[in-house]
Structure 1
Amino acid sequence: MAHSATQTNSRFSLPSLIASIGSSIYSALISVAQAQSRVRQVEFLQSLSDEELKNRGLTRERIVHRVFADSIWL
């Protein structure tokens, strides 16, 4: 009869926990900053006249699509 034992060292690591929390907070802050930047861009484009938008190759209906085209599927 054979016996086998497997040992796992799954210890709590405070430094890795802190690093993980810090990384998550940093990622969240970056996402918020990028979203605010895009909102400001949409607001700026909305403030332009239809003629100015036409000169940029845009219509009011396509502003959000243009600004967020690389991050969401519309």
Structure 2
Amino acid sequence: MTTQTHDTPTDFAIRAQIDAFFATIGQGFNAYMVRASRVDRIKALEALSDAELAHKGIARDRIVHHVFRDLMAV
């Protein structure tokens, strides 16, 4: 015995709302993970000595600029 289901326009609208909800959560989570990883990178660089930073070609007052250089033209 087979059962057929027919989606109504309302079913599609509800699915679209659910998809949008989870997509929004996913975008927020992705943004959080990117931010968290950059903060960790900043902390790691700040823990280095001035000599270690100089070896990497980074001035201490430019650590944040270095970490976010792909997002800003600074």
TM-score (norm 1): 0.80
Name the structure where helix makes up a greater proportion of residues.
2
What is the root-mean-square deviation in Å for CA atoms of aligned residues? 1.7
Aligned length: 65
- Give the Cα separation in 1 of the matches to 2:73 and 2:17: 34
Q: Displacement of 1:71 after TM fit?
A: 1.9
- Give the Cα separation in 2 of the matches to 1:53 and 1:37: 19
Unaligned runs of at least 5 residues, structure 2: 1-8
- Superposed, 1:1-74 pairs within 5 Å as 13-74=13-74
- Large movers: runs of 4+ above 3 Å: none
TM-score (norm 2): 0.80
- Rg comparison, structure with higher value: 1
